[in-house]
Amino acid sequence: METQKIEKSAPLVESVLSVESPPARSGFLRALWAIIWKDLAAELRSRELLSAMLVFALLVILIFNFALELDAQTRFNVAAGVLWVTFAFAGTLGLNRSMAMEKDRGCMDGLLLAPVDRSAIYFGKMFGNLIFMLLVEIIVLPVYSLLYNVNLFQPGLIVVTLLGSIGYVAVGTLLASMAVQTRTRDILLPILLFPVMIPLFIAAVKASGGFLQGIPMDEIWPWLNLLLVYDMVFIAVAFMVFDYIVEE
């Protein structure tokens, strides 16, 4: 069983070890890239994750349309909120699947055996999750714009989406790594994530809404600040504690 797991992640470990006595930093980056690429390649082949997230996101938007029967003006006002609820829920899906794949295929154990700094695993997973989330968002934004007759492709809104997604994925990857190792698994992630994610969520919604409604930058700045602070703080925290989550 052990050898099976090692064999599965052999290509990954190989790619990490293939450079002879690399300086520490490039070893780290190499591992990082290897992990990201592993996830992307797996997804390219099966496309399970992305399609699931995408369909789910579109369904959520559809449901909101019927749940909140609104006139055009109100729909415009709630656009930012609906968007971020969609991202939050679809994001949970992505995080769950992403970490579950590690555990189920036994890749995690293989990764841990590789002579790689644990934080590389964290950042690798985090960036992988971020890419998936961004891919979904890139598709959802134009769909939403069409359905609700709102131009969501403003630079401000793109920036907020990026910052919000980074924070979400930073905390989400950490918590998903824990959730996937429990009995309750999938159900547990939103319970762990949502209360902790609220400042990010509020800031993202208010900033997005602000950009959409064209309110002055002065009023949007505090929210952007909050987003930045949240991102930095939680990336730092996750970086420091991730070791303790995956040690065996």
Partner 1 sequence: MTTKPIALKILDLATILLLLVATGLVFFFAPLERVMGLVQKVFYFHVAAGWVGMLGFLVAAVVGGIYLARGDRKWDIVGLAAVEIGMAFAFINVVTGSIWARPIWNTWWTWDPRLTTATIMLLIYAAYLMLRSGIEDPDRRARFGAVYAIVGFISVPLTFFSARLFRTIHPVVIGTNQPGAEGAFDMTADMRLVFFFSLFTFSVIFVDLLWHRIRLGQLQDQVEQLKLKFNV
Chain residues binding partner 1 by CB under 8 A are 171, 174-175, 178-179, 181-185, 188, 191-192, 195-199, 202-203, 206, 219, 222-223, 226, 229-230, 233-234, 237, 241, 244-245, 247
To the nearest whole angstrom, how small is the minimum distance from the Cβ of residue 115 to partner 1?
23
**Which of 108, 140 has the CB closer to partner 1?**
108
> How buried is residue 42: exposed, middle or buried, by Cβ count under 10 Å (0-12/13-18/19+)?
middle
To the nearest whole angstrom, how small is the minimum distance from the Cβ of residue 210 to partner 1?
10
To the nearest whole angstrom, how small is the minimum distance from the Cβ of residue 193 to partner 1?
9
**Which of 115, 195 has the CB closer to partner 1?**
195
To the nearest whole angstrom, how small is the minimum distance from the Cβ of residue 120 to partner 1?
19
To the nearest whole angstrom, how small is the minimum distance from the Cβ of residue 93 to partner 1?
19
To the nearest whole angstrom, how small is the minimum distance from the Cβ of residue 221 to partner 1?
11
Helix (H, G, I), strand (E, B) or coil at 192: helix
* DSSP structure string for 31-53: HHHHHHHHHHHHHHHH-HHHHHH
- Do the beta carbons of residue 131 and residue 90 sit within 8 Å? no
Residues 6+ apart with CB under 8 A from 103: 180, 181
**Which of 55, 191 has the CB closer to partner 1?**
191
To the nearest whole angstrom, how small is the minimum distance from the Cβ of residue 112 to partner 1?
14
**Which of 88, 197 has the CB closer to partner 1?**
197
User: Nearest-5° angle of CA 98, CA 81, CA 143?
Assistant: 70
**HSE-CB of 9 using CA atoms within 13 angstroms:** 27
How many other CB atoms sit within 10 Å of the CB of residue 56? 18
The CA distance from 70 to 78, in Å, is 9
**Which of 162, 202 has the CB closer to partner 1?**
202
- Do the beta carbons of residue 130 and residue 94 sit within 8 Å? no
**Which of 165, 177 has the CB closer to partner 1?**
177
**Which of 119, 145 has the CB closer to partner 1?**
119
Closest CA to 96 of 189, 178, 197, 234: 189
